[in-house]
Structure 1
């Protein structure tokens, strides 16, 4: 079943993602995706600069060969799937900082020089928005 999501820029986190390449859950039995959702919400709540970015969650983004995965999306912008994050506040901050730069971009392309260090090497796919492809 589908549920209506936020309009605008959203970070959609897989709440069932593995904790790491070798473990489904941490020592307390919590999945990495669920922990990353908590970190994203905690960091977002700590700084009004992130008010323009929605944090949402859903079970399984089908990136099961990876772990701690998010989908960054916005209407009429290229989307990105990123993963292999630690489920902590540092990763959440890097994701949200990138999402802020993404929100300010015309069509979803953020210059590499503006990428937070914490997202470099974490991109898995780039997805075209409905009705468009990148030239």
Structure 2
């Protein structure tokens, strides 16, 4: 199963202001995540709005048949993007999507917003 990193490209952090920023923080984060994901065992995609506006720079980590996670409160920087991709790759390597806490990259600790169980298989 492919693990996807879905990046909200419309997220704006608390410091965002039209007079000082020419685009949303989410676009910066999306570019950084896409860069760090190149050649890795995950795929990326962008969406406009994950509806986590108070959490800023939101991403979802998902794969069919696995637990899914929403993470937020990131700064759009290379360290955060690298940690997101590292965590997503651990998610990809897990049978259930659950990654033991001791394996979490430091950069994702404190950024988990929600966890969703996998959808039931058709007909269940």
Q: Establish whether TM, by shorter chain, passes 0.5.
A: yes
> Structure 1 regions of 5+ residues with no counterpart?
1-6
Q: Do the aligned partners of residues 26 and 78 (structure 1) sit closer, same or farther apart at CA in structure 2, a change above 3 Å counting? A: farther
Shift of 1:65: 1.4
Aligned to 1:36: 29
Shift of 1:28: 3.5
In 2, distance between residues paired with 1:24 and 1:63? 18
Shift of 1:93: 0.4
How many equivalent pairs are there?
A: 121
| Paired residues of 1:25 and 1:32 also in contact (CA < 8 A) | no
RMSD of aligned residue pairs (Cα, Å): 1.7
Candidates 11, 30, 53, aligned match of 1:17: 11
In 2, distance between residues paired with 1:83 and 1:24? 19
The two structures have a TM-score, normalised by structure 1, of 0.83
Matched residue of 2:28: which SS? helix
Candidates 99, 106, 110, aligned match of 1:117: 106
The two structures have a TM-score, normalised by structure 2, of 0.90
Deviations 1:35-65 (A, max 9, x none): 00010112223xx3x1x20010000001111
Aligned to 1:4: none
In 1, distance between residues paired with 2:17 and 2:45? 21
Matched residue of 2:66: which SS? coil
In 1, distance between residues paired with 2:49 and 2:77? 19
Matched residue of 2:61: which SS? strand
